[in-house]
Amino acid sequence: MAPHATDPTAPSGPYEPARQPVHPTAERRETVVLVDSERTAYTDEHITAKYTYRGASVTREGASVRVKPTTEEFEFRTERKVPRLGVMIIGLGGNNGSTFTATILANKHHITWQTKEGLQAPDYVGSVLRASTFRMGTDSTTGKDFHLPVCDVLPMVHPNDITVGGWDISAAPLDEAMRRAEVLPYDLQRQLAPLMAGIKPLPSVYYPSFIAANQGARADNTLPELSKREHLEHIRGDIRAFKADNKLDQVIVFWSANTERYSTILPGVNDSKEALLASIDASHPEVSPSTLFGVAAVLEGVPYINGAPQNTFVPGLIQLAAARKAFIAGDDLKSGQTKMKSVLAEFLVNAGIKPLSIASYNHLGNNDGYNLSAEPQFKSKEISKSSVVDDMVAANHLLYKPASQMAKETGDPKAKAEHPDHIIVIKYVPAVGDSKRALDEYYSRILMGGRSTISIINECEDSLLATPLILDLCLLAELLTRVQYRTKPTEDFQPLYSVLSLLSYMLKAPLVKPGTDVVNALSRQRAALEQFLKACLGLDNSGDLLLETRTW
């Protein structure tokens, strides 16, 4: 029998079929955005752009509100050379890790597969960078809006060029992990198997107290029971070896392993960088695997992203990253139900409608659901999901009484601000596998004491929504390592702040710079990302104002 037309192991020769067309999201484009402005300059090495950041300082004076416009001048410098990038995933053999690797290999090798709808080509649908666009302005020829793929705005790594590796407590090579996950269709798995079989996870850290006991059966690829300092040095050695062996310029370390229980924040243990490093030396039981990997990444100077809901970034780790000017981001991938919630809650509150309760029910049957069936791990997930509407509620004091008003009305100085009831339930149902079911009810007050109920049923293939987010987070984190800024021409350029809050669009519980507000509203998160990337080109156009359509 002749080999399958797109079998990557098939010999080349006179019978080699024509290459299948490449999906638009996976195309290689040589687009260069050139801004004709005295504020933007190009060299072979850098794009340098001046940007005026406009804000407003507001003061309430009795019945008056005084607003003072503010401006601050920034100069951004973006390195144009795109590096050779490697991504090291903790939990490489899980559903997300194996699907991420398989997606990149399928696109890289142009592997097509048969489905009941016909021939399917690989793609990066679901990726903001590869499958969505920004409005750049008005087409000078047609007068219509001109939209550009996000990945073309600034020089970015093409996902096909990513080298993937990482760790897992399960020793299964990735072809077995892919079959175990049951995410991708058989015809695709069959062709990917020879490429995936050679990728084997490195032994990982296993501290049983942090994940559900039901994960013990998978833990056959763990580091010896050494001290936590020895584990830390081993992980650092793995990162260095991966970078050297693959001749990489940059590495991103990404946590996609099991959800851990919350770490207890203890004075003198993890509340400062000095305490955290001492606690690692002492093998303190409250130093979690995810925090240990984070310390290793920070000490190696590579970005670290937490894709799970636990409190990986204890105060000591955030301090250490800031001291080293290393990049960190988290927490928890915002893929389906929570992303919808951050849109719908914003819509309701901005429309002047008051949600009284938001009740969310989930059931799923993958290993993530299995691990979350344990109460401590579920609690981590519940916390990350519950905070997603907080900033939207706090923004509207006409609908929700602030803490000061509640304290005045109740006489309790510790009274909390008014907030909708927010209930979250997650159940493990093996039969549905990776296909997660989410049911949400939004019960709201409308005009004259009336009520409105919105119910949503959302079914999604969990890993196929999560994988593009991992891709975007890694590619954006890499890009931001090449962006520097200064506020005075006499200053040296310096890197961005260590906490990459620009990645918030893809995260449920965004980590932000201490002392600053968390933004969960999806539209604001995307707008911030768009405006920043344009600022790196010296563009500050407010295209949505559309004054040309509103004036003579």
Spatial contact of 121 and 20, defined as CB atoms under 8 Å apart: yes
The pairing of strands 113-115 and 118-120 is antiparallel
Question: How far apart, in whole angstroms, are the C-alpha atoms of residue 444 and residue 441?
Answer: 10
Spatial contact of 538 and 46, defined as CB atoms under 8 Å apart: no
Q: Per DSSP, which regions of 290-414 are E strands? A: 304-306, 328-329, 354-364
| DSSP 3-state of 9 | coil
Q: Which H/E stretch holds residue 79?
A: strand 64-79
Spatial contact of 90 and 253, defined as CB atoms under 8 Å apart: yes
The residue among 52, 193, 27 whose CA lies nearest residue 113 is 193
Say which of 273, 334, 341, 508 is annotated catalytic.
Answer: 508
What token pair was written down for 403? 């803490």
Would you call 508 a catalytic residue per the annotation?
yes
Say which of 168, 175, 331, 332 is annotated catalytic.
Answer: 332
Say which of 436, 440, 472, 534 is annotated catalytic.
Answer: 436
Q: Which residues pair with 417 in a beta bridge?
A: none
The residue among 294, 439, 305, 430 whose CA lies nearest residue 368 is 430
Spatial contact of 511 and 330, defined as CB atoms under 8 Å apart: yes
Say which of 200, 228, 354, 381 is annotated catalytic.
Answer: 381
Q: Which residues pair with 537 in a beta bridge?
A: none
Q: What are phi and psi of 248, to 5 degrees?
A: -95, 150
Would you call 161 a catalytic residue per the annotation?
no
Q: Which amino acid is at 428?
A: Y
Would you call 436 a catalytic residue per the annotation?
yes
CA 546 to chain centre: 31
Q: Which amino acid is at 53?
A: Y
Question: How far apart, in whole angstroms, are the C-alpha atoms of residue 444 and residue 448?
Answer: 12
Would you call 354 a catalytic residue per the annotation?
no
Q: What are phi and psi of 68, to 5 degrees?
A: -115, 110
Question: How far apart, in whole angstroms, are the C-alpha atoms of residue 538 and residue 35?
Answer: 8
CA separation, residue 102 to residues 43, 105, 196, 511 (Å): 37, 5, 7, 29
Q: For residue 78, how many C-alpha atoms fall within 13 Å in the half-sphere facing its CB?
A: 23
CA separation, residue 221 to residues 172, 173, 204, 271 (Å): 9, 11, 7, 31
Q: Which residues pair with 536 in a beta bridge?
A: none
- What are the residue numbers of the active site? 332, 381, 436, 508
